[in-house]
Amino acid sequence: MSSTQTIPQVTAVPKHVAIIMDGNGRWATRRFLPRVAGHQRGVEAVREAVRASIERGVRYLTLFAFSSENWRRPEEEVSVLLQLFRMVLEQEVAKLHASGVRLKIVGDLERFDSRLRDLIRRAEAKTEANTRLTLTVCANYGGRWDVIQATRALLADRPDLVSSLTESDLEPYLAMAHAPEPDLFIRTGGEMRISNFLIWQLAYAELFFTDTFWPDFNAKTLDEAIASYRNRERRFGRTSEQVRESRRQGRDEQVRLAPEDSRADA
């Protein structure tokens, strides 16, 4: 379901929350600890975010864990981050499974060693039938990588589309095709940027920035973000009057916009 093709249903609890978990390093530095101590504490905040999301009825939680640009960091920090990722996959999947979490790992996984790729495959397979919460972890993920890999895969399947491809042709090939677009985007750590996260899917997300460092993120931070989200008027290009009118008529959702293009089969 694309926010530019149809108007999505707006619900009081965001269906999909996407988070840039930022500020681990600064959290640690403020405490005169090595940066990696912040990453370790960050894992606890992930547990808390998952728990709080399930409690509040969020259906999709997407976490940016390692960007395609994070390889630029010192080798030692990269290696600790990869170790932590492996540790979480080894030790947390059983618990996630018991809580009804479906786990998805998206990104350019080819860059990881075969042992890690195998852990990822097994974690996804084990949890694939769970429906309570879809937890997507973006690892070696970049929004631009995603758009390019999807375009390549689509054109390999359908070379005939080269001069006529549409948004809906491309969407099934994007790494987040298993989830609706995020309703609420949260970035902790005080920076106000997207840092090559879900550049396609965030087109109409409500953005929430907080100075809280990721290791301090908890249910209260999530509630603040959701409270702010509830105060937004999601217009999707319409006027405020149109939004109110459609709400009055109880047809806030799935209003068809102009046809995407003039192709006969679109």
> Is 211 one of the annotated active-site residues of the chain?
no
| Chain residue at closest Cβ approach to ligand IPE | 25
Residue 195 found at the interface with ligand IPE (CB under 6 A) = yes
Token pair 């939680």 is found at 61
Residue 189 found at the interface with ligand IPE (CB under 6 A) = yes
Nearer to ligand IPE by Cβ, of 80 and 101: the residue is 80
CA distance 62 to 202: 12
Inter-residue contact 130 to 97 (CB < 8 Å): yes
> Is 70 one of the annotated active-site residues of the chain?
yes
CA distance 117 to 94: 18
Beta bridge partners of 206: 184
Which 3-state string (H, E, C) describes 217-250?
Answer: CCHHHHHHHHHHHHCCCCCCCCCHHHHHHHHHCC
Pattern 73-102, ligand IPE, x by CB under 6 A:
--------x---------------------
CB of residue 240 to ligand IPE, shortest distance in Å: 33
Residue 23 found at the interface with ligand IPE (CB under 6 A) = yes
Inter-residue contact 8 to 181 (CB < 8 Å): yes
CB of residue 39 to ligand IPE, shortest distance in Å: 6
Nearer to ligand IPE by Cβ, of 11 and 79: the residue is 79
Q: Which of 22, 169, 183, 216 is catalytic?
A: 22
Token pair 């937890």 is found at 135
Nearer to ligand IPE by Cβ, of 170 and 214: the residue is 214
Residue 21 found at the interface with ligand IPE (CB under 6 A) = yes
The encoded tokens of residue 233 equal 């008027």
Pattern 92-131, Mg ion, x by CB under 5 A:
----------------------------------------
For 241-258, give one letter per residue: b (16+ CB within 10 A) or e: eebeeeeeeeebeeeeee
Q: Which of 126, 125, 109 is nearest to 117 (CA)?
A: 109
103 binds, options Mg ion, ligand IPE, none, Cβ within 5 to 8 A by partner type: none
Residue 170 found at the interface with ligand IPE (CB under 6 A) = no
The span of 98-106, 155-163, 185-193, 222-230 binding ligand IPE (CB under 6 A) equals 185-193
> With left for phi above 0 and alpha for psi between -120 and 50, is residue 78 left, alpha or beta?
alpha
CA dihedral 115, 120, 126, 127 (to 10 degrees): 160
CB of residue 228 to ligand IPE, shortest distance in Å: 20
Residue 22 found at the interface with Mg ion (CB under 5 A) = yes
Contact set with Mg ion (CB under 5 A): 22
- Catalytic center residues: 22, 70
Contact set with ligand IPE (CB under 6 A): 20-26, 64-67, 70, 81, 189, 191, 193, 195, 214
